């Protein structure tokens, strides 16, 4: 699983187990948009799910001892439909700005401080995407380029080359299933949905440590 930078595990959670999570997300309007919501780890139901032993064990397969630090809801539907090109996720939420080699540029979005991180830090992050609805070939699933996480930080030319050379995989999974991936470095994308079926996924990120050196502590939320 880890050699490819991603894995798919069906049937991790039942509908009954996810019901309180869905209810909490439906009731959360503070940072909600049509496309989902950011920084939802503050919700008790999301924190409980992120700490579930099944997810903790799965995260540990990729980065060893892991702790959740960020959760995002993606909600793709006929009224909120988008295309995402091949990319890496290189910005991490940080508690404070530090002058450290390889970190930056720094920016603030919605009151949260972010820094583009070096590959040595990004290698210690894994995301577990819990499907709240079935993800199918028709409703714009996550797509990955297997094995591309081993190439470190990529410029635009390298991304384009790998997109031509590596066969893409559509990460389809049933409701309650989980897609594990190394999104900071694994190239991933998403097509527009061609279906009326809603696709909600809770994207929970884990790191092997809360910090990456003096003054380089992750913001949790």
Hey, what domains does the chain have and what are their CATH numbers? 2-191 (2.60.120.620)
Give 104-127 pLDDT, tens digit per residue.
999 998 789 999 999 999 999 999
Give 133-143 pLDDT, tens digit per residue.
999 999 989 99
CB atoms within 10 A of CB 132: 23
* Rg of the chain (C-alpha set): 17
Give 48-72 pLDDT, tens digit per residue.
999 999 999 999 999 998 999 999 9
What pLDDT does 110 receive? 79
What pLDDT does 196 receive? 83
What pLDDT does 1 receive? 55
What pLDDT does 128 receive? 98
Q: Indicate whether this model's pTM tops 0.75.
A: yes
What pLDDT does 80 receive? 78
What pLDDT does 111 receive? 87
Report, as ranges of residue numbers, the positions in the chain whose pLDDT lies below 70: 1-2, 29-35
* CA–CA dist 122, 42 (Å, integer): 23
Nearest CA-CA partner of 173 in 18, 8, 6:
8
Q: How buried is 41 (Cβ within 10 angstroms: 0-12 exposed, 13-18 middle, 19+ buried)? A: buried
What pLDDT does 33 receive? 61
**Sheet arrangement for strand 84-87:** 84-87, 188-190, 142-144, 169-170
């Amino acid at each position: 699983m880890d050699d490819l930078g991603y894995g798919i595990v069906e049937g991790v959670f039942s509908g009954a187990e996810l019901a309180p999570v869905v209810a909490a997300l439906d009731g959360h309007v503070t940072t909600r948009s049509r496309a989902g919501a950011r920084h939802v780890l503050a919700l008790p139901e999301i924190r409980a799910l992120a700490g579930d032993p099944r997810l903790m064990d799965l995260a540990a397969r990729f980065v060893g001892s892991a702790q959740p630090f960020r959760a995002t809801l993606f909600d793709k539907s006929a009224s909120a439909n988008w295309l995402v090109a091949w990319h890496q996720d290189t910005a991490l939420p940080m508690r404070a700005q530090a002058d450290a080699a390889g970190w930056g540029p720094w920016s603030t979005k919605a009151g949260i401080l972010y820094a583009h991180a070096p590959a040595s830090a990004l290698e210690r992050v894994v995301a577990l995407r819990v499907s709240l609805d079935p993800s199918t070939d028709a409703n714009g699933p996550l797509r990955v380029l297997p094995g591309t996480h081993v190439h470190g930080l990529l410029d635009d030319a390298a991304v384009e080359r790998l997109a031509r050379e590596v066969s893409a995989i559509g990460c389809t999974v049933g409701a309650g299933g989980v897609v594990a991936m190394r999104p900071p470095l694994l190239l991933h994308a998403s097509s527009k949905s061609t279906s009326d079926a809603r696709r909600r996924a809770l994207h929970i990120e884990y790191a092997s440590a809360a910090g990456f050196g003096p003054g380089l502590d992750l913001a949790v939320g």
